[in-house]
Amino acid sequence: MSRKIRVLVAKPGLDGHDRGAKVVATALRDAGMEVIYTGLHQTPEMIVEAALQEDVDVIGLSVHSGAHVPLFRKVLTLMQENGLGDVLLTGGGIIPAEDMKMLREEGAGRLFGPGTATSELVSYIRESVNQESA
Partner 1 sequence: MSSDLLDRIASGDRRALARGLSSVEDRAPGFRDLLRGASGSAGAAHRVGLTGAPGVGKSTLVSALTTEARKRGRRVAILAIDPSSPFTGGALLGDRVRMTDHLLDQDVFVRSMASRGAQGGLSTATGDALDLLDAAGFDLVLVETVGAGQGDVDVAAEAETTCVLFAPGAGDAIQAMKSGLMEVADLWVVNKADDDRAERVRADILSSLMLHDPPDDLDERVRMVSASTGSGVAALLDALDARLDQLEASGARAESRRERIRYRVGRAAAETLREATETSSSDALVDDVLQGRSSVHDAAEALLRSVASTSSGEQP
Find the distance separating the first CA and the last CA of the chain, reported in whole Å. 17
36 binds partner 1 (CB under 8 A): yes
Which position among 16, 17, 19, 55 is part of the footprint of partner 1 (CB under 8 A)?
55
| Residue 99, Cβ density class (10 Å: 0-12 exposed, 13-18 middle, ≥19 buried) | middle
Contact window for partner 1 (CB under 8 A) among 29-37, 70-78, 90-98, 109-117 = 29-37
Q: What is the DSSP letter of 41?
A: S
25 binds partner 1 (CB under 8 A): yes
SS3 of residue 102 by DSSP: helix
- Compute the least distance from the CB of residue 107 to partner 1, in Å: 19
61 binds partner 1 (CB under 8 A): no
Q: What is the DSSP letter of 60?
A: E
- Tell me how far apart the alpha carbons of residues 134 and 38 are, in angstroms, rounded to a whole number: 29
Contact window for partner 1 (CB under 8 A) among 32-40, 67-75, 94-102, 104-112 = 32-40
4 binds partner 1 (CB under 8 A): yes
Comparing CB distances to partner 1, the nearer of 16 and 39 is 39
Q: Where are the beta strands (DSSP E) in the chain?
A: 6-10, 34-37, 58-63, 88-93, 111-112
Residues forming contacts to partner 1 in the complex (CB under 8 A) are 1-4, 6, 25-26, 28-39, 42, 45-46, 49-50, 52-55, 82-83
